Structures are given as C-alpha cells and as structure tokens.
Amino acid sequence: MQNLKKRNVIVGQSGGPTSAINSSLAGVFRTAKERGYAKVYGMIHGVQGLMAGKYIDLSEHIQNGLDEELLKRTPAAYLGSCRYKLPKIHENMETFKKIFQILDDLEIDCFIYIGGNDSMDTIQKLSDYAILTGSEIRFVGCPKTIDNDLALTDHTPGYGSAAKYIGTSVKEVIRDGISMEMPHGMVSIVEIMGRNAGWLTGAAALAKGEDCPGPDAIYLPELPFDVDKFVAKCEDLLKVKNSVVVAVSEGIKTADGKYVSELGGGADYVDAFGHKQLTGTARYLADLLSSKLGCKTRAIELSTLQRAASHCASRVDILEAYEVGGAAMKAADEGDTGKMVVFVRTSDDPYQANTEVKDVHKIANDERLVPREWVNEEGDDVTPRFITYVRPLIQGDVAPIMVDGIPRHLAKPGFINML
Ligand code: F6P
C-alpha cells in the first residue's frame, strides 16, 4: 500500500434520511478511530453545509459506548442531510476549488458520503476533480436509501428497517379494518414511498401470514396504473369482503406517464435533482372510490413515518449499516477512491451477504427497479420470489433505549439548534 496520508476524516449524510443512516455514521467513526485518524469531522447538512464552513468534531458527540449505541438508534440524519447537486466540474471550477481548500485546511485525507444514487453524484464529481488536480484525498460512498434502488448492490441499508415497518403497519391496518363492519364496506389505501422503485411498496406483502390475509392488492410504480381497473377490482372485492386494504406506491403512473398524485393536484415542489414531491396518491384514489362506490375510505400516507421508525428497526439492517460504514472507511484508508461499498448476497437461507467496492461512475444517478418477474401476471401483487428476497433483511429487532416511556435519541446540548 503506497505511503498514504492518514491525518483526518470527514463524513457527511445526504438525501432522504433513514432509520439506519446513523448506524453507518457510527461505523465510519469507529473504524476511523481504530485506524488511527486524529479527527473525524461531520459535515452539517452534507456538502452544502461544508461549503458554508459548517462542520463539527464528531469526537465531541460520540464520547463513549452509550453515545454510539444511542446514535445507532437515532433516526434521520444526525448531522443533517441535504439534496444538493454539485455543478459539472468544467462549468464551475470555483465551487470545487472552494471545497478542496476547506478540505486541505482541515487536513482531510478521507471523505466519506453516506447517501443514495443522487448523493453518489457528489462522490463521483469530487473524486474526478481530485484526479484532475492531483489531490490525494480519497472519496468513498456509503450506500443509504429506503428506496433500495441503488445499482450494483443486492440491497441498501435503510431499506430493511423501512420494509419491516411497512409490513408491520399494513398488518395492523388490516386488523383494524377487519374489526369494523361498515354498511357499504371500507377501502383503506396505504401510500408508500420509494419514488419510481417498488421495493418498499412490495414489502406490504410481508403482512401476510397465518394470522393475516395480507393486503388485497399491491401496485408498484414499475407497472402502469389503470384507474378504471383499480375501481372495478375494489368494487368486486367489496362484494365478498367488508374491509379492503390496498398498498400503492407514491410513484404510480398512468399509461401516459402521469403520476396519479398529479391527477388530484398533488404538490408543486421539485427538489435539486428534479424530483417532484409525490404526495396525495392515496387521497385521490380514496376520494374517487368514495364517489364511485359509495363506500367508506381511508387514505393512509405513511410519509416520513416509514423512514424514521427506529422503534421498529431491523437488526440485520442496523448491523449491516454499521458494517458498510466501516467498510467505506476501510476502503478509503486503504487507498480506494471514486468507489461505493455494495452488498453481494451469497445465500438467502441461511442469509449471507458480503461487502465489495464498485466504481461509483456505474452507480451515480442510476436506479435499480423491481424485476417484472417478481410481480404477478395481473400486476397487483408480488411473487414469493420477492418475499424470499426481502424476508432476511427485516430479521431481528433493535430495542430502543427508553427514557420515561419514550425512545431516547442522541442529542448533544444545543446541537439540534445548529441544524
Ligand atoms: O429518497 C428517499 C425518499 O424518502 C423517497 O422515497 C421519497 O420520494 C423522497 O425521499 C421524499 O423526499 P423529501 O423528503 O425530500 O420530500
């Protein structure tokens, strides 16, 4: 291994938060300290905050084992996150010069970014600029997203815990619906995140078991959504059961490519990567059913509950998130740059997955969708193969550290006000 500098590390969190993102942060920190780095800085709100000179010394926040265990159990980005797209290198060299000046002033040798496909665009550009200018700073991505849509990896930390929460919550919604007898029946529509990938919505099928029939239909964004067919299916279901529960992705589109959430107005907000805020899909469909079928309806938009549910986190997910944080730090320490850590699954049962590093240029801004063969012929459910894939990722629990009856999170005095 060439004589690599090992002075300080800086780590940031970017994109949609998850309930495992801080376990990765803890993994980066622990490995950096074990490998002899003097300081581990944390960017406040990712690269956007770094450019404004906002960062902390993580050693002042993770002072002992209890802090580390609390951090692993704290949902959403402890350091604050951002949705900030760096400009193309040759269009704005000044931006990159400024970032690298800050990194040089902090004597940074390893830059770790915990994020999804959009965030890997940052690792790609910074590592390209380093090579262009002869900087020896190493840039490595640590995978993170509840959407599970990162390319080249079997799955992504954050997904398992969100899937566990979704399967559990859908099961409880089904149980609630069964317990009430409505004169004209009831249709509950559960709206689930995931943008254009249906991995999260498919996890609603986890509700099915000996004690629960599971949802009556599941609609993924990978397939065109037929509104009339949906209404007809609900009408047929209400003829044989009083309570119908349907899971829909926030990102379902009609055959002409229009988001269903836009049919009811939806939100006009668009983020820095051009992603439109997807909300109101369940509300639109519930109101449509109510007017067409005269039944009672509920629109249950899980929204940020599904990505902040640390009280229902998957042990496998939290442990793997810590593992990839450490693996990203190890890769940078050993000279890798322009890479992201990925999972390679070698066995479903017993579950076995290992980590590797892959070229971030083949991952950034890409999407990995649910294979068509993992959805049934009709297009309104997932197959047993999907369940075999997701089941290992939701195993085990991570008991919250309860104080006065409520989960305790890591919060150093005054720090939350800095975010
Ligand atoms: O990227 C994760 C995610 O939670 C998506 O599933 C969702 O569509 C998006 O973030 C919501 O983004 P925001 O919280 O910025 O509205």
- Which part of the chain has CATH 3.40.50.460? 163-306
Atom 4, ligand 1: residue with shortest CA distance:
16
Contact between 408 and 328 (Cβ < 8 Å): no
Atom of ligand 1 nearest to the CA of 147: 6
Q: Name the phi and psi angles at 417, rounded to 5.
A: -70, -20
What distance in angstroms lies between residue 204's CA and the mean position of ligand 1's atoms? 18
Residue 292 pLDDT grade (very low, low, confident, very high; cuts 50, 70, 90): very high
Catalytic residue (one of 109, 121, 147, 317): 147
- Decide yes or no: CATH 3.40.50.450 for domain 8-157+310-365+396-418: yes
CB 161 within 8 A of CB 358: no
* Ligand 1 centroid, distance to 16 Cα (angstroms): 5
Question: What confidence category does residue 162 fall into, taking pLDDT thresholds of 50, 70 and 90?
Answer: very high
pLDDT over 70 at 11, yes or no: yes
Q: Which atom of ligand 1 is nearest to the CA of 307?
A: 4
Residue 147 Cβ < 6 Å to ligand 1: yes
- What average pLDDT is seen over the chain? 97
pLDDT digits (tens, 9 = 90+) for 248-289: 999 999 999 999 999 987 778 888 888 888 999 999 999 999
- Which protein residue has the closest C-alpha to ligand 1 atom 2? 16
Give the model confidence (pLDDT) of 194-212 as tens digits. Answer: 999 999 999 999 999 999 9
The percentage of residues in the chain with a pLDDT greater than 90, rounded to a whole number, is 95
Tell me if residue 147 is catalytic.
yes
Determine the pLDDT at residue 268: 84
pLDDT number for residue 273: 82
Alpha-carbon distance of 208 to 167, in angstroms, equals 8
- Mean pLDDT, range 57-85, rounded to an integer: 97
Percent of the chain exceeding pLDDT 70 equals: 100
Q: Report, as an integer, the average pLDDT of 118-128.
A: 97
The pLDDT of residue 12: 98
Atom from ligand 1 closest to the CA of residue 116: 1
Domain with CATH 3.40.50.450 in the chain: 8-157+310-365+396-418
Q: Whose CA is closest to atom 16 on ligand 1? A: 277
Work out the average pLDDT over 223-234.
98
CA 251 to centroid of ligand 1, rounded, Å = 11
Residues 6+ apart with CB under 8 A from 9: 28, 32, 37, 39, 40, 41, 108, 109, 110, 111, 112, 329, 332
- Distance (angstroms) between ligand 1 centre and the Cα of 30 equals 28
**pLDDT (0 to 100) of residue 272:** 83
144 lines ligand 1 (CB under 6 A): no
Model confidence at 1: pLDDT above 70: no
Fold type of domain 163-306: Rossmann fold (3.40.50)
Could you tell me the pTM of the whole model? Answer: 0.97
pLDDT in tens, 403-417: 999 999 999 988 999
Instruction: Answer yes or no: is pLDDT of 362 > 70.
Output: yes
- Residue 15 CA: which ligand 1 atom is closest? 1
Q: How far apart are CA 116 and CA 366, in angstroms?
A: 10
Q: Residue 387: pLDDT above 90?
A: yes
What is the rounded average pLDDT of the residues 286-296? 98
